[in-house]
Each structure stands twice: as structure tokens, then as C-alpha cells.
Amino acid sequence: MPVWRVICCVALLFSAVSVYGAQPYLWLPKSYKDAMPKLKLAVDEVLKSPRCEQVLKGTINIDLSSVEQPVFKILCRDKERKTYVTILEGNSLAVYDRTKSRYHRGPTERSMREYWATCQKAVNDMYEDFRTINVLTKRRPEPVLYKDGTVGIVINFDAISLLGEPLAFRAECVFSSGTSYRLRLSGREAK
């Protein structure tokens, strides 16, 4: 057998051994660095499952988490070498109930920043329909949580029509998922 084949076989053998004996890759963003001990406990909890032969990766699910209540995503490999994900609540280490909508707790801080920026842009894009627009809502408002899981962001603004009439509006961006939204525009009484 040629020497290069022997070297390749030995290298392949060592790489296979190192994968099975490797520690899982654990990663958290800087804002969650204090949750690393909880992530390690979550990995230990998942390894107790008879299905999980090896934990490959552990991280945080940003969309479901807050700094006070982290939610971890653990990638496992089973006996058939198939991978699957287990989601655990960081404080209780209980399996996350996927039937819970994140909107029952309200959107995440990250989502709220995106919603606020998207809704502000939608209102500013209406500028071509008016002579002027004066946005009255300067700070990000509390979201309106609807029973159907949608989230509303309300922005009040005054405008001068193309004919010079003063107008008072209430714009509501209703987000269904991600940054997908519909814009509701209604009149309001001027103060």
C-alpha cells in the first residue's frame, strides 16, 4: 500500500476519534456571557436523555430569550448519527413548550427595535403624500399585543395636506411575523 494512503487513513481515523471525543461547541453572545454556567447545566441535562449520544453544539435562541430568562438551543446526535435540536428554558432547565407563542410574553427587545425602525420608515415614506409631516411619537411606544399573535406599534403624527389643510393621524403597523406588517392609518383629534 502506498505511503500516502496510509497517512490519509491514519489522519481520517484520528479525525473520527476526535469528533466522538470532542467537547461540544458552546457559544453565547456577549450580552448573555453570564449565562454560560446555565448553558453547561443545560448540556448536562440533555445528555441525561437516552436519545442524545453526543452534544455537538449549545447556544442561545435569541428570539425566545431575554437576559433574565435565557432559552438554550442544544444540538444533539443520536445512535443513528442523526442530529436534532432540544430547546430548554435556561432557569428551570425544562424543555421549552413550543406551543407558547413568543407574543404572549411580548416581542423580544431585538424584535421591538426592528418593528420600531420599520414603522418609523413606513410613516416617513408617506412624506410624498403630504407637504409636511411632524411625527409626535418620539420614543418607542409599548407594543399592542393582539389575541391572534400580531403586534402593533402606534405612531401619532400631524401633517399638512398637498392642499394646505392641517391633518392629524394615527399610524399603526401591525406585525404578523418578522418584519412583515400591514399599515393602518386613521384620523385622530388634533390637540
The per-residue pLDDT for 172 is: 94
Positions of the chain with pLDDT under 50? 4, 6, 10, 13-21, 101-103
The per-residue pLDDT for 107 is: 72
Domain residue limits, the chain: 21-100, 109-187
Strand ranges in the chain using DSSP code E only, listed in sequence order: 25-26, 54-60, 71-77, 83-89, 132-135, 144-145, 151-160, 166-177, 180-187
The per-residue pLDDT for 98 is: 59
The per-residue pLDDT for 177 is: 65
Candidates 114, 89, 85; CA nearest to 100 is 89
Candidates 105, 90, 94, 101; CA nearest to 35 is 90
The per-residue pLDDT for 179 is: 66
CA 175/CA 144 separation, integer angstroms? 10
Structure confidence by residue, pLDDT tens digits, 1-48: 665 454 555 455 444 443 444 577 999 988 888 999 999 999 999 999
The pairing of strands 83-89 and 71-77 is antiparallel
CA 90/CA 45 separation, integer angstroms? 11
The per-residue pLDDT for 105 is: 58
Question: Which grid cell sits at 63?
Answer: 428570539
SS3 13: helix
